[in-house]
A and B are shown apart, each in its own frame.
Chain A
Amino acid sequence: MATTGVIDSNDKNLWGGGVEPMKASYGKLMMWFFLLSDALTFSGLLVSYGLSRFAHRAYTGSVEDFVFSQEYWPIPEKVFTHIPFTHAPAPLVFVGIMTFILIMSSVTMVLAVEAGHRMDKKGVQKWMLWTILGGITFLGCQAWEWTIFIQGDKGTIIDGVKVFGANMSVNEYGPQLFANFFFFITGFHGTHVLSGIIINIIVFYNTSIGVYEKVGHYEMVEKVGLYWHFVDLVWVFVFTFFYLV
């Protein structure tokens, strides 16, 4: 009787407790479900961008003749044309570089996780530092892009007044909502990058003082890795739906 009971609880009753049915630790599972809810938040922002765009008239002329106007939604590649140190128009190049930086920092993060699996403290330290550097570079690029966006370019006449740049109440580039969504979506993503950098620095510090070596595993690196990849994932969507489409 007792033997039968034991076999039952081990083999058939996967959700009865005492085992990890998803073969992942509590912390990792909770990170996954947090990321799921965060994905819904970002979807909310991006989908409302889509709604606003569909609720405004689209530009119908040729791309070459495009000028900024309050009458229609701007073509993003006409808005983001700046790169540092030159005034030559380079549409989407800068945001492409930013995408590349973030993907590379995701790669160094996986390499840190891989080093953690091997209990390679030096490796984890090295790759975490590269990841932190990538994150800081990305944030720097975003700060520069915001500055350019806020300062403005040629200016647009709105209600008889020439307006330069954009903020939450005027927008040189088109309908007001375009600027507002730019600040909210890239800002919310930038906040995620910022908190990711801070968490990465904490994990780097803990690695350096030997916390995870003492614990016996580097699972914390995996958990912050999940978060960092998610931030990269969101940027892939922001890149497509804000800059490309």
Chain B
Amino acid sequence: MAHAHDHEEHVVHHVHPPDAAKIRKIWLTAGILAFVTAIEFLMAFTMDRGVLLITGFVLLTFVKSFYIVAEFMHLKYEVKSLIWSIVLPVIFIVWLVVALLIEGDAILTLRNIWMWYFN
């Protein structure tokens, strides 16, 4: 991490050579992200619109977000308590999504009934 040499009189920071393995991993992650996006494109133009396609999109989105958060944001290498402090609250969003989509569907049903009643 930090290379502080504050015990020295005049501070000299040595520039370390690039870590080849680390940089390869960064580009590998970038490659995966680009590849998954390419697959999403392919799916958008070859598959029929429906539950299967949307499920695929959602799953691939989670794959991409895993790589961004775990590798780019480095969360995978943090201590467990930090990982769970971030991930656990996010899980509650899943409930929000389910609840509001059901609510939206209920609104549509009501709307259809009203339209049928007044026309």
A8 at the interface (CB under 8 A from B): no
Please give me the residue from chain B that is nearest to A59 by CB atom: B49
Q: How far is the CB of B117 from chain A (nearest CB, A)?
A: 17
Given A22-B81, A51-B104, A217-B2: A96 touches B37 (CB 8 Å cut-off): yes
How many chain B residues touch A (CB < 8 A): the figure is 59
- Min C-beta distance of B100 to chain A, whole Å: 4
The chain A residue with its CB closest to the CB of B16 is A118
Enumerate chain A residues within 8 angstroms of B40, measured Cβ to Cβ: 240, 244
Is A148 at the interface (CB under 8 A from chain B)?
A: no
Whether A110 lies near B57 (C-beta < 8 A) is no
The answer to whether residues A57 and B26 also contact, given A36-B86, A47-B97 and a CB cut-off of 8 A, is no
B52 at the interface (CB under 8 A from A): no
Contact A106 B97 (CB under 8 A): no
Task: Determine the chain B residues whose CB is within 8 A of the CB of A120 once the complex forms.
Answer: 15-16, 18
Q: Which A residues are CB-close (under 8 A) to B5?
A: 216
**A57–B82 CA distance with the chains assembled, in angstroms:** 42
Central interface residue in B2, B30, B37, B78, by most chain A CB within 10 Å? B2
A216–B3 CB distance below 8 A: yes
A193 to chain B, nearest CB (A): 15
B77-116 interface with A by 8 A CB criterion: 78-79, 81-82, 85-86, 89-90, 93, 96-97, 100-101, 103-105, 107-108, 111
When chains A and B are docked, how far (Å) is the Cα of A39 from the Cα of B100? 17
Residue interface bits A111-140, CB-to-B below 8 A is 1, else 0:
100110111110100000000000000000
Query: Is A180 interfacial (CB-CB < 8 Å)?
Result: no
Nearest residue (CB) in A for B104 is A54
Contact among B11, B58, B73 with A240 in the assembled complex (CB-CB below 8 Å): B58
Contact A240 B18 (CB under 8 A): no
A92 in contact with B72 (CB, 8 Å): no
Indicate the member of A54, A120, A121, A217 with the most B CB atoms within 10 Å: A54
Query: With A103-B30, A119-B13 known to touch, is A236 a contact of B64 (CB < 8 Å)?
Result: yes
| B6 at interface by CB-CB < 8 Å | yes
Q: In the assembly, what is the distance between CA of A121 and CA of B2, in Å?
A: 13
List, in ascending order, chain B residues with CB within 8 A of A111's CB. Answer: 23, 26
Which 9 residue pairs of A and B lie closest in terms of their CB atoms, listed nearest first?
A54-B104, A217-B2, A216-B4, A51-B104, A55-B107, A118-B16, A119-B13, A22-B82, A240-B61
Extra 20 A-B pairs, beta carbons < 8 Å, given A40-B93, A240-B57: A32-B85, A47-B100, A50-B104, A51-B104, A55-B105, A55-B108, A56-B108, A104-B30, A106-B72, A118-B18, A214-B11, A216-B2, A217-B3, A225-B73, A233-B69, A236-B64, A236-B68, A240-B58, A240-B60, A240-B61
